[in-house]
């Protein structure tokens, strides 16, 4: 209690008070007076009495100082003094202050913004109960390290395993949702009954799926995502228990998922239903369409779970050799599935931002160094007047703290702005895949990160000038009239800093160059079709009204005829999966007459209409493509791509050959009638797989893509296209209207490459700017230091050309070292970047040479200005100046 009172008084005592000072000096005066009176009474002479009283007191000023310090907290008082002094110093050189704070806020802002992304994506645990116990479970095929799980395999895995306390599956899906204004295709997910219990998620409203609700005899029920509940049902509380129409089937809403629920693999799903209605695929063991989430039993590791599941898979392989050959198990932490793609990019960006911050710090540090050179005299004077070294050091630390605080505060503001901008740049579809980014923002992690940056920056900035403190050479510093030795430490130390800056700038530039080149390569990858003037929409035919294959074939023809008659349209086609999607929807084939041992020959399978080649403007290599005559009444035919021909018919003519399923079931046998170019069905950055094209008329489907070639603007065609399909039947669902070029540019591969190239490019541009500014600062400071020397040289007859050589030579030396070191480091750094590169080697020569030239040119420009200033020095004035 009394301690608090005393501290409080001392803190208020920081405000200097004239009254208290006067009060104490009166008290001391009266003390001395009384003492002198006593001494006089004791018979001393007045002089003696005075002397004795002062001696006994122990010094008037010391006592006053001790009392003064007792009135307040001495450390705090000097701190305030230092702070005032620091602010005055910074205020006196606004150019330095603004530059330093600007650089710091740029560096800190970039780092903080990127760190916030890293935190949201990689550091925060997944929002499920005990997320570390959750694993991603899938099958392991020969061509796919992580392939879908078949429903029948899942049922066996679930019953036979001893490592999971629960194992549940999910898969994507879509429904035609009936609204008062018509039908609308909606994204959905189908899950097994215990899916949400496995994740540890409870509905906000209503109930979870009952156990057994995913069995075929269970009624149709649905859980709504929070945003669907808000947007489609106005957040009404009485939604639970109501019936909605999905694919014309009455479905009961049983609950609403919590607001913060997210499941990245099915991020876009609006409706969550069970797998109670088995799709055709889910009835066959050889068809794979699911993924699973498992919760590990207490104490079971991912490794031992994998061992158990692999053993089960082996057992199934023996039991079902046809469907399960080479089908193993894949198990990894669930977090791995969610952040695998974005992790290398985020880490690269974080490294880039960190390097940028480092450049900014080095720049500010060398500015401080230059300033401390100019303040040598001031420091020497303060030292001579009695300031202790620790007091001078504290002054520097205070200045560092003021500078860094300003930098961190504005840096946080810049970071916040950058985060908002970056978030806005992410498209809605991408955002659905990265729901964890919705949590992005300032939190304890981000603030701690900023605090760590601030602390290290303070240490760097307060230590830099301390190096320059005249330790013993106080007198020399006083005598020294800014000539001779003054620049030596600077030249040894400060100029090395700029080399470091240039090195970092080179690393960032090379990284940006490589990523940019990868992105360029990615966009110019061989598609083997013409993506311009091509429009795409997804068509969803309601099975309720088109229940027969014949009806499907008829409506498909109607749609194609209607669309082809639109003005400007030259041809239209359907395909089960549009080009530039994925190596997916694959088929296991067996070639008639070739040796076969049950292996799974995986090829892409696409059902397309006769105009596929013509619409894509892709080339036929040999044989023929389908015609309208290849329908269900004719024998089955297929067309294969070149990769198929090379892999399975090397040295043979594939035309006329037959293929079928593993058992060569008569129904599955089809004849190869043509070979086409390797049309890019897969993502931009993956290899071309063998592909087979079947006439859609021979296996009609209710869900396919419509591709339309036009001579006019394909973007303007999109709304017309949707309207045309609805003219055929308003009950048909239409979605994903986009031009082919948009689809390619927005594909995840292009998206990730583009964002990393642009962001690292931005960092590199800033780094180049900061590095060149740093070089300019170093060279012009060095010129100003050597004005006299240059003056003498010129007075002794040195030509202007040799002065240029002198200055540019120094700049050239620093730049050269910086570039060489940078190139070496960036080759090392680029090997770390390998995962993000496409079609570009880590030591891509043109990029390295280009960066070296760019930096050399920028450095030449930056040093030309001070060199000109040096060459135009008037020797007479330079010598007279001091």
Among candidates 473, 469, 478, which has minimal Cα distance to 369? 469
Q: Choose the stretch contacting other proteins; rule: CB under 8 A; options: 66-74, 464-472, 586-594, 632-640.
A: 66-74
Choose which of 21, 31, 423, 520 interacts with other proteins (CB under 8 A): 31
Cα torsion at 69, 75, 76, 80 (round to 10°)?
Answer: 100
The residue (of 6 and 723) whose beta carbon lies closer to other proteins is 6
Among candidates 55, 76, 56, which has minimal Cα distance to 12? 76
Structure token digits, residue 579: 């080009």
DSSP label at residue 671: E
Distance (Å, whole) CA 520 – CA 518:
5
The residue (of 5 and 424) whose beta carbon lies closer to other proteins is 5
Structure token digits, residue 51: 């002397």
25 binds other proteins (CB under 8 A): no
* CB of 24 vs other proteins, minimal distance in Å: 8
Choose which of 11, 22, 25, 37 interacts with other proteins (CB under 8 A): 37
* CB of 391 vs other proteins, minimal distance in Å: 21
Q: Choose the stretch contacting other proteins; rule: CB under 8 A; options: 3-11, 445-453, 568-576, 805-813.
A: 3-11
The residue (of 65 and 315) whose beta carbon lies closer to other proteins is 65
Distance (Å, whole) CA 852 – CA 401:
37
Among candidates 292, 278, 277, which has minimal Cα distance to 171? 292
22 binds other proteins (CB under 8 A): no
Cα torsion at 472, 475, 477, 483 (round to 10°)?
Answer: -130
Distance (Å, whole) CA 557 – CA 544:
19
Choose which of 71, 376, 606, 743 interacts with other proteins (CB under 8 A): 71
24 binds other proteins (CB under 8 A): yes
The residue (of 10 and 868) whose beta carbon lies closer to other proteins is 10
* CB of 58 vs other proteins, minimal distance in Å: 4
- 146 conformational bin, left if phi > 0, alpha if psi -120 to 50, beta if neither: beta
**Can you list the positions of beta strands (E) in 232-320?**
243-246, 249-256, 271-274, 291-296
Q: Choose the stretch contacting other proteins; rule: CB under 8 A; options: 58-66, 121-129, 300-308, 608-616.
A: 58-66
Among candidates 822, 806, 805, which has minimal Cα distance to 771? 822
Choose which of 43, 58, 386, 797 interacts with other proteins (CB under 8 A): 58
The residue (of 66 and 716) whose beta carbon lies closer to other proteins is 66
Please count the residues of this chain forming the interface with other proteins, following the rule CB under 8 A: 29
* CB of 79 vs other proteins, minimal distance in Å: 20
The residue (of 62 and 632) whose beta carbon lies closer to other proteins is 62
10 binds other proteins (CB under 8 A): yes
DSSP label at residue 363: H
63 binds other proteins (CB under 8 A): yes
What residues between 310 and 329 interact with other proteins by CB under 8 A? none
Choose which of 45, 62, 319, 711 interacts with other proteins (CB under 8 A): 62
9 binds other proteins (CB under 8 A): yes
* CB of 385 vs other proteins, minimal distance in Å: 25
Choose which of 46, 59, 74, 321 interacts with other proteins (CB under 8 A): 59
Q: Choose the stretch contacting other proteins; rule: CB under 8 A; options: 21-29, 365-373, 742-750, 785-793.
A: 21-29
Distance (Å, whole) CA 652 – CA 675:
13
Q: Choose the stretch contacting other proteins; rule: CB under 8 A; options: 25-33, 201-209, 339-347, 696-704.
A: 25-33
The residue (of 71 and 140) whose beta carbon lies closer to other proteins is 71
Q: Choose the stretch contacting other proteins; rule: CB under 8 A; options: 22-30, 77-85, 433-441, 454-462.
A: 22-30
DSSP secondary structure, 806-849, as one string? HHHHHHHHHHHHHHHHHHHHHHHHHHHTGGG-SS--TT-HHHHH
648 three-class SS: helix
551 binds other proteins (CB under 8 A): no
DSSP secondary structure, 638-667, as one string? EEEEHHHHHHH-TTS--TT-EEE-TT--GG
Among candidates 207, 343, 185, 167, which has minimal Cα distance to 264? 343
What residues between 415 and 454 interact with other proteins by CB under 8 A? none
Contact 315, 160 (CB under 8 A): yes
51 binds other proteins (CB under 8 A): no
2 binds other proteins (CB under 8 A): yes
70 binds other proteins (CB under 8 A): yes
Hey, which residues does 186 pair with through a beta bridge? 175
Q: Choose the stretch contacting other proteins; rule: CB under 8 A; options: 27-35, 102-110, 464-472, 654-662.
A: 27-35
6 binds other proteins (CB under 8 A): yes
Choose which of 11, 34, 421, 795 interacts with other proteins (CB under 8 A): 34
Distance (Å, whole) CA 316 – CA 285:
11
The residue (of 3 and 472) whose beta carbon lies closer to other proteins is 3
Contact 199, 126 (CB under 8 A): no
33 binds other proteins (CB under 8 A): yes
* CB of 88 vs other proteins, minimal distance in Å: 31
What residues between 609 and 648 interact with other proteins by CB under 8 A? none
Q: How far is CA 164 from CA 265, 300, 318, in A?
A: 21, 8, 23
Between β-strands 134-140 and 328-333, what pairing exists: parallel, antiparallel or unpaired? antiparallel
27 binds other proteins (CB under 8 A): yes
What residues between 380 and 399 interact with other proteins by CB under 8 A? none
Among candidates 275, 369, 335, which has minimal Cα distance to 136? 335
- Residue 570 phi, psi (nearest 5): -100, -35
57 binds other proteins (CB under 8 A): yes
30 binds other proteins (CB under 8 A): yes
Distance (Å, whole) CA 752 – CA 345:
8
* CB of 25 vs other proteins, minimal distance in Å: 11
| CB within 8 Å of 429: residues ≥ 6 apart | 268, 746
209 three-class SS: coil
Distance (Å, whole) CA 339 – CA 333:
11
Choose which of 17, 25, 26, 242 interacts with other proteins (CB under 8 A): 26
What residues between 120 and 179 interact with other proteins by CB under 8 A? none
Structure token digits, residue 508: 């960032």
Give contact residues for other proteins (rule: CB under 8 A).
Answer: 2-3, 5-6, 9-10, 23-24, 26-28, 30-31, 33-35, 37-38, 56-59, 62-63, 66-67, 69-71
């Amino acid at each position: 209690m009394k301690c608090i009172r005393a501290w409080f008084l001392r803190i208020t005592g920081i405000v200097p008070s004239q009254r208290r000072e006067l009060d104490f000096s009166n008290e001391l005066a009266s003390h001395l007076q009384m003492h002198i009176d006593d001494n006089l009474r004791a018979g001393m002479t007045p002089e003696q009495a005075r002397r004795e009283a002062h001696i006994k007191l122990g010094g008037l000023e010391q006592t006053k100082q001790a009392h003064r310090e007792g009135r307040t907290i001495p450390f705090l008082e000097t701190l305030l003094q230092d702070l005032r002094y620091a602010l005055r110093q910074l205020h006196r050189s606004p150019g330095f202050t603004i530059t330093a704070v600007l650089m710091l806020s740029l560096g800190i802002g970039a780092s903080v913004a990127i760190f916030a992304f890293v935190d949201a994506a990689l550091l925060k645990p997944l929002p499920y109960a005990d997320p570390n116990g959750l694993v991603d479970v899938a099958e392991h095929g020969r061509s796919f390290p992580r392939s879908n799980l078949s429903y029948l395999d899942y049922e066996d895995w679930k019953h036979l395993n001893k490592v999971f306390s629960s194992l549940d599956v999910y898969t994507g899906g879509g429904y035609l949702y009936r609204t008062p204004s018509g039908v609308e295709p909606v994204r959905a997910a189908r899950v097994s009954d215990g899916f949400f219990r496995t994740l540890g998620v409870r509905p906000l409203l209503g109930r979870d799926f009952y156990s057994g609700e995913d069995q075929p005899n269970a009624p149709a029920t649905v859980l709504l995502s929070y945003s669907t509940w808000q947007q489609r049902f106005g957040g009404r509380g009485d939604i639970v228990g109501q019936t909605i129409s999905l694919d014309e089937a009455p479905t009961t809403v049983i609950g609403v998922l919590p607001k913060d629920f997210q499941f990245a693999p099915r991020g876009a799903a609006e409706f969550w239903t069970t797998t109670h209605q088995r799709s055709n695929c889910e009835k066959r063991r050889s068809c794979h369409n699911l993924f699973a989430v498992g919760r590990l039993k207490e104490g079971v590791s991912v490794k031992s779970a994998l061992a158990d599941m692999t053993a089960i898979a082996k057992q199934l392989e023996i039991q079902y050799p046809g469907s399960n050959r080479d089908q193993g198990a894949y198990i990894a932490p669930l977090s791995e599935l969610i952040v695998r793609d974005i992790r290398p990019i985020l880490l690269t960006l974080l490294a880039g931002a960190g390097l940028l911050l480092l450049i900014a710090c080095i720049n500010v540090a060398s500015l401080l160094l230059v300033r401390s050179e100019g303040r040598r005299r001031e420091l020497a004077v303060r030292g001579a007047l009695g300031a202790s070294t620790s007091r001078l050091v504290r002054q520097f630390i205070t200045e560092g703290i003021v500078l860094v605080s300003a930098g961190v505060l504005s840096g946080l503001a810049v970071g916040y702005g950058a985060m908002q901008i970056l978030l806005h740049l992410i498209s809605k579809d991408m955002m659905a895949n990265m729901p964890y980014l919705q949590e992005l923002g300032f939190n304890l992690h981000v603030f701690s990160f900023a605090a760590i940056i601030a602390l290290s920056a303070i240490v760097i900035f307060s230590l830099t000038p301390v190096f320059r403190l005249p330790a013993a050479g106080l007198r020399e510093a006083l005598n020294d009239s800014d000539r001779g030795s003054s620049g030596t430490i600077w030249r040894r130390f400060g100029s090395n800093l700029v080399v470091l800056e240039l090195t970092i700038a080179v690393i960032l530039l090379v990284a940006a160059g490589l990523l940019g080149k990868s992105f360029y390569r990615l966009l110019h990858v061989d598609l083997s079709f013409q993506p311009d003037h091509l429009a795409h929409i997804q068509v969803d035919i309601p099975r309720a009204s088109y229940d027969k294959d014949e009806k499907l074939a008829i409506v498909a023809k109607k749609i194609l005829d209607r669309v082809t008659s639109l003005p400007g349209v030259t041809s239209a086609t359907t395909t089960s999966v549009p080009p530039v999607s994925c190596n997916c929807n694959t088929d296991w084939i067996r070639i008639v007459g070739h040796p076969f041992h049950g292996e799974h020959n995986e090829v892409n399978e696409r059902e397309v209409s006769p105009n596929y080649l013509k619409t894509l403007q892709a080339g036929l290599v040999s044989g023929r493509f389908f015609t309208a005559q290849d329908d269900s009444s004719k024998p089955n035919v297929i067309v294969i791509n070149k990769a198929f021909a090379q892999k399975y018919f090397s040295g043979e003519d594939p035309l006329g050959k037959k293929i079928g399923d593993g058992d060569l079931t008569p129904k599955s046998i089809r004849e190869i009638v043509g070979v086409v170019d390797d049309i890019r069905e897969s993502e931009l950055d993956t290899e071309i797989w063998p592909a087979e094209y079947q006439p859609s008329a021979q296996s009609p489907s209710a869900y396919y893509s419509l591709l339309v070639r036009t001579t006019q603007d394909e973007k303007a065609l999109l709304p017309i296209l949707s309207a045309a399909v609805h003219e055929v039947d308003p009950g048909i669902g239409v979605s994903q209207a986009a031009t082919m070029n948009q689809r390619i540019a927005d594909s995840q591969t292009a998206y990730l490459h583009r964002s990393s190239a642009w962001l690292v490019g931005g960092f590199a541009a800033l780094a180049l700017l900061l590095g060149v500014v740093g070089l300019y600062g170093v060279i012009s400071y060095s010129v100003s230091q050597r004005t006299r020397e240059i003056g003498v040289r010129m007075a002794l007859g040195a030509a202007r050309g040799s002065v240029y050589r002198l200055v540019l030579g120094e700049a050239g030396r620093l730049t050269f070292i910086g570039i060489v070191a940078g190139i070496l480091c960036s080759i090392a750094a680029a090997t770390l970047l390998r995962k993000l590169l496409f079609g570009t080697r880590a030591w891509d020569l043109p990029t390295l040479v280009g960066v070296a030239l760019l930096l050399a040119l920028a450095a030449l420009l930056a040093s030309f200005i001070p060199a000109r200033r040096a060459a135009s020095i008037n020797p007479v004035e330079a010598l007279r100046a001091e």
